[in-house]
Structure 1
Amino acid sequence: MTETQTQFITTTEALAGLCARLANEEFITVDTEFMREKTYYPELCLVQLAGTDDVAVVDAMAPGLDLAPLGELLARPEPVKVFHACRQDVEIFLLLFGAVPANLFDTQVAAMVAGFGDQVGYDSLVQALTGGHIDKTHRFSDWSARPLSKAQIEYAAADVTHLRVVYEKLSARLRVEGRMDWVAQEMAVLAEPGTYRVEPARAWERLKIRTNNRRQLALMQAIAAWREREAQRINIPRGRLLKDEQIPEVAALAPADAETLTRVRGISAGFANGKSGVSLLAAIAAAKTLPEGELPRVERPRDTPRASPALVSLLKVLLGAAAEQNNVAPRLVASGEEIEALALDETAPNPILEGWRREMFGEDALRLIRGEIALSTKGKRIKIVELKE
């Protein structure tokens, strides 16, 4: 594979021929190069593809190039489409073609199932499984600038050539261990279009909001939703409109006019009087008129049930032991929030109690909560002790 000459694709005809050949493969490896510093939506610059005899870098910005053959290839149930840390790549294809690529396989997720740690980097995985080395020289290239150098093209191609060997070794290892079904369950989440969509109404959830004032919370929610919609409309990063720390400042001031809006640090008169400023003021005005009954509920810490910190700690010890025994990244099995939820209410729906997670960790977690087992040590390892009634 390393000796295969890289094709640089700039025409629809060449892309169609490449995709026709790749359609007959058992699996293909896929990667992208894009720019997002100045836009809300990623600007696709290159698509890298590799099969048994083909290694290609597609210039997505080439004049007159129609990416439809690529969309058709990605939509086919076969071959398997292999990515590493695929979320941003898949988001791009969802935007371009209106669908998530079919039959996804993410080697970062697979590596976590195979015990390579939490969110293992591509460079580390290549080195561990192939002994190869990724040249980082062009990692911070401006991929939108043309012409591209031969070195840039070869750098981009290396991402998908090494990935073939990584996939083959990972999948073989997981089949021997009987864990391909585990990976398939994780891929189901990545195959869901909703995984990649940001709903403006929920944009406030990414903020660190601390307030007991329901009206203030409603204003911050409205401002965050406005920022997301406006960033999408004019295709600029959300932080170019308002920074996260400005949102509570705007909400506290609750401006009714452009002059008052400019009192917020960092907001210019040009912005306040422009189209974006006018629409922001309208969103604030609407939030001000919400009836009391429609204001969001503020959960006070004293009103929120909390799990026993000691029980949560015990469950985390059990998780670490289970992950160590099964050679799986603990973070893939359960998050801290999921463990706290289980400690609080073991009858509530929880990913820990589904599929392979329940088999590996969930059942013992329930037994620990019910007092049916205890934890002890044997040598330098944690062991489960059965408790007799």
Structure 2
Amino acid sequence: MAVHLHEDDLPADVLAPGPVAVDTETMGLITPRDRLCLVQISDGQGDEHLVRFSPGSSYAAPNLKAVLADPARVKLFHFARFDLAAIEHYLGVTAAPVFCTKIASKLVRTYTDRHGLKDLVRELLGKELSKQQQSSDWGGGELSEAQREYAASDVRYLHAMQTILAERLEREGRTALAQACFDFLPARARLDLAGWPDKDIFSHES
């Protein structure tokens, strides 16, 4: 198992076929303001790839974009809504089809209100994640070893969790409902980007 750091794009043909786990690191939580600094991606075979973008980057990244936009590859996220918005805004592609472990968790782990990645990894896989680097500066000239490990760990377990959560969705008869939610996520991300991040447009409220 190794963590590979790349500048500005993913090397060609480094990923095995099939679903890929994806995450992003940005300078903050307001997508148009806080630039995309890092995209993490893994094919679930043991290695994680970190693609770093420097300030002023053109975000050309043709190899990375081809993987993210590939309609034959499912993209696994935890809280896909945020990552999809960052990817669409900065890379200009829609990273679909999608499986979101946070939405799946909310649909089947109704016995708890703890749906964070750390909680899921602990319960489903019996492993501990460190979130110490979550609020660190991802836009600096160098990534520390701690930052690299944190970023890699965000995609390391998504394949295994997707398998477990898909089984639970099937068991509880909620697979079709989950899929409808996943299919809507790119539109939900576009609503966030267009200025409706805090409004439920389906609500009866004025």
TM surpasses 0.5 = yes
Q: Decide whether the 8 Å contact of 1:108 with 1:119 is kept in 2.
A: no
Q: Which residue, 26, 29, 48 being the options, matches 2:18?
A: 26
Q: Which residue of 2 aligns with 1:137?
A: 132
TM-score by length of 2: 0.83
Q: Which residue of 2 aligns with 1:330?
A: none
Q: Which residue of 1 aligns with 2:41?
A: 49
Note the residue ranges of structure 1 that are not aligned, 5 or more in a row. Answer: 207-334, 342-389
Q: Indicate yes or no: 2:72 matched with 1:78.
A: yes
Q: Which residue of 2 aligns with 1:298?
A: none
Q: 1:322-350 deviations in whole A, cap 9, x for unaligned? A: xxxxxxxxxxxxx9x96xx6xxxxxxxxx
Which letter does structure 1 place at the counterpart of 2:62? A
Q: Which residue of 1 aligns with 2:107?
A: 113
Distance 1:97 1:147, change over 3 A: closer
Note the residue ranges of structure 2 that are not aligned, 5 or more in a row. Answer: none
TM-score by length of 1: 0.46
Which letter does structure 2 place at the counterpart of 1:55? E
Distance 1:39 1:114, change over 3 A: closer
Displacement of 1:40 in angstroms is 4.3
Q: Decide whether the 8 Å contact of 1:189 with 1:195 is kept in 2.
A: no
Q: 1:265-318 deviations in whole A, cap 9, x for unaligned? A: xxxxxxxxxxxxxxxxxxxxxxxxxxxxxxxxxxxxxxxxxxxxxxxxxxxxxx
Q: 1:37-79 deviations in whole A, cap 9, x for unaligned? A: 7984331111111113331111122878742221111111121
Which letter does structure 1 place at the counterpart of 2:36? L
Distance 1:125 1:144, change over 3 A: same
Q: Which residue of 2 aligns with 1:35?
A: 27
Q: Which residue, 131, 151, 154 being the options, matches 2:146?
A: 151
d(CA) in 2 for partners of 1:104, 1:75: 11
Q: Which residue of 2 aligns with 1:351?
A: none
Which letter does structure 1 place at the counterpart of 2:54? M
Displacement of 1:198 in angstroms is 2.4
Q: Decide whether the 8 Å contact of 1:44 with 1:60 is kept in 2.
A: yes
d(CA) in 1 for partners of 2:177, 2:144: 41
d(CA) in 2 for partners of 1:90, 1:176: 28
Q: 1:141-162 deviations in whole A, cap 9, x for unaligned? A: 1111121111210111011002
Q: Decide whether the 8 Å contact of 1:75 with 1:102 is kept in 2.
A: yes
d(CA) in 2 for partners of 1:158, 1:148: 15
d(CA) in 1 for partners of 2:31, 2:100: 26
Q: 1:207-233 deviations in whole A, cap 9, x for unaligned? A: xxxxxxxxxxxxxxxxxxxxxxxxxxx
SS in 1 for 2:155: helix
Q: Aligned pair count?
A: 199
Q: Decide whether the 8 Å contact of 2:3 with 2:152 is kept in 1.
A: yes
Which structure has the greater CA radius of gyration? 1
Structure with the bigger percentage of helix: 1
Q: Higher RCO, 1 or 2 (CA under 8 Å, sep at least 6)?
A: 2
Distance 1:39 1:168, change over 3 A: closer
